[in-house]
C-alpha cells in the first residue's frame, strides 16, 4: 500500500551551504525524478529514483532524511516498483513465524547521490553479505584507508538507501550496535531477520 507523501516528524539536519555535503544534497534533489511511499513491517518509507536507478529509501523518522522532495509522486516508476517487490520478499522470510528459503538478494539498479568518498563507502557496504556483519575499522581497511574509520562511519551514517545498501550490518568493533540512522530497534530487527551471526538488542549490546 502506498501512502500520500508526508513530511517527517523529525526535521532533517541541513548541511551548511557550500560544503561538499550540501552540494551532494543539492545534486540528489536535482537528480530525483520520482518518489513514492512504501509500507514495511518496520514502518513506512519514502523511495526516490533518478533516471538511472533507486536513489533513496528513508524511514520517516531517520536521521539525515532529506525532507520533502520536489519530484512528483510516481507509483509506477520501474525502479521504485522493483524495490517494493524485493522488499516484500525480503521481509516475507519470517512471515508466519517460519523462516522461508534464503533471500536471493536485491537487484534493483542503484544511483545514490553523494560525494566520491561516500559512494566508495556505500559500494563497499554492498559486499557485506546477508547474515554477516562488519565494523568501521574493517571497512576503512578494505577501502585502503585504515586510519579513516571515523570518516567511514560518517559516510555509513549518510547512506541514503536504507536496507538495500546494508549499513545496518556495520557494528562496533566489540559487536555493539553503535548507531543507525533508522534507530537501534530497527537495526536489531533487520539483523535478526537476516539471521546474522552476531546480532544486538535495542540497548546496543551484542547478543548471540
Active site residue ranges: 167
A 10 A CB-CB count for 140 gives 20
Distances (CA, A) of 201 to 87, 137, 179, 187, 208: 23, 22, 12, 9, 10
**What would the grid cell of residue 171 be?**
557494528
Query: Residue 134 CB: number of other CB atoms within 10 A?
Result: 18
Which residues lie below 8 Å from residue 168, measured CB to CB, with a gap of 6+?
Answer: 162, 180, 182, 186, 187, 190, 191
Query: DSSP of 174-189, one letter per residue?
Result: TS-----TT-HHHHHH
Amino acid at each position: 500500500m502506498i501512502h500520500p507523501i508526508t513530511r517527517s516528524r523529525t526535521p532533517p539536519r541541513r548541511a551548511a551551504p557550500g560544503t561538499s555535503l550540501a552540494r551532494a544534497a543539492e545534486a540528489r534533489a536535482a537528480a530525483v525524478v520520482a518518489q513514492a511511499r512504501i509500507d514495511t513491517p518496520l514502518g513506512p518509507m519514502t523511495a526516490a529514483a533518478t533516471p538511472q536507478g533507486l536513489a533513496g529509501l528513508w524511514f520517516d523518522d531517520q536521521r539525515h532524511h532529506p525532507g520533502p522532495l520536489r519530484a512528483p509522486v510516481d507509483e509506477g516508476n520501474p525502479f521504485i516498483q522493483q524495490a517494493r517487490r524485493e522488499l516484500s520478499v525480503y521481509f516475507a522470510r519470517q512471515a508466519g513465524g517460519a523462516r522461508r528459503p534464503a533471500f536471493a538478494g536485491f537487484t534493483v539498479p542503484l544511483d545514490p547521490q553523494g560525494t566520491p568518498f561516500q559512494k566508495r563507502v556505500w559500494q563497499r557496504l554492498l559486499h557485506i553479505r546477508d547474515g554477516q556483519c562488519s565494523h568501521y575499522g574493517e571497512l576503512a581497511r578494505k577501502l585502503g584507508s585504515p586510519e579513516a574509520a571515523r570518516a567511514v562511519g560518517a559516510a555509513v551514517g549518510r547512506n541514503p538507501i536504507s536496507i538495500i545498501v546494508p549499513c545496518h550490518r556495520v557494528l562496533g568493533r566489540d559487536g555493539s550496535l553503535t548507531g543507525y540512522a533508522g534507530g537501534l530497534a530497527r537495526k536489531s530487527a533487520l539483523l535478526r531477520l537476516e539471521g546474522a551471526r552476531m546480532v544486538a538488542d535495542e540497548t546496543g549490546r551484542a547478543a548471540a
